[in-house]
Amino acid sequence: MRDVVLVHGAWHGAWSWRRVLPLLWAGGARAVTVSLSGVGERPGVTGVTLQTHVDDVVAVVRAEECRGAVLVAHSYAGVPVTAAADVLGDAVGPLVYVDAVLPEPGECWSSLSPPDTKAEQRTQIAADGVLPAPPATVFGLTGDDAAWVDRRQTTHPGGVYDDPVHFDAARWSARPRTYVSCTAPPLASIDPSRARVAGQPGWSMVELATGHDPMISAPGELAAVLLDVARS
């Protein structure tokens, strides 16, 4: 059984995996989380860039002495996880992108945003240096789940938005890769990444009939996918 390393998305934190972790442990996987700088459990960290978040992921994988671990990226984390995997070599094995941004070498998180969203985000960053969290209903959450996420979300460091990602595409494409597409409702900002997956060879595609935060709205289904990969 492979180790599983979970990396949260924008505005979230390691807390967002709370419902998935015990299911992975019960399934026999050693699962750990990464807390990205300037967000979630680590707010207020200044000078955060994409490289900061890459380093956050690398540091946890190395500290846990992983070998062939499953590296899991939710949403924005697809960007730093892609770069971190390139640095980590055989410390990580399969990659799992959970409704995640899928960059090409040299692209930024902003590269996959529509022009109107890009302009709005850059205006926010210029004014405040951070990106404010959207309401959790945007992620398809309702009721108590939405209220919990709204309480926990923080601003996201703006320094990562236009920072290009660097990795070797050939090494990346040689890894086993799974994409978990969340379809009920689908988040429009992830559509370009879904289209990329559909047009690239080598992917295992899994669809979950839930919203953008499946670790909250469908933890059992997501844990089952991750355990299948961990057993590979």
Domains in the chain, number: 1
User: Taking residues 31-60, what's their average pLDDT?
Assistant: 96
Domain span at residue 213 reads 4-230
Q: What is the pTM of this model?
A: 0.97
CATH number at residue 40: 3.40.50.1820
- pLDDT at site 220: 99
Give the DSSP per-residue string, the chain. Answer: ---EEEE--TT--GGGGTTTHHHHHHTT--EEEE--TTSTTSTT--S--HHHHHHHHHHHHHHTT-SSEEEEEEGGGHHHHHHHHHHHGGGEEEEEEES---PPTT--GGGGS-HHHHHHHHHHHHHHSEEPPPPGGGGT--HHHHHHHHHH---EEGGGTTPPP---HHHHHTS-EEEEEE-SSPPGGGHHHHHHHHHSTTEEEEEESS-S-HHHH-HHHHHHHHHHHHT-
pLDDT digits (tens, 9 = 90+) for 88-109: 999 999 999 999 999 999 999 9
pLDDT digits (tens, 9 = 90+) for 47-85: 999 999 999 999 999 999 999 999 999 999 999 999 999
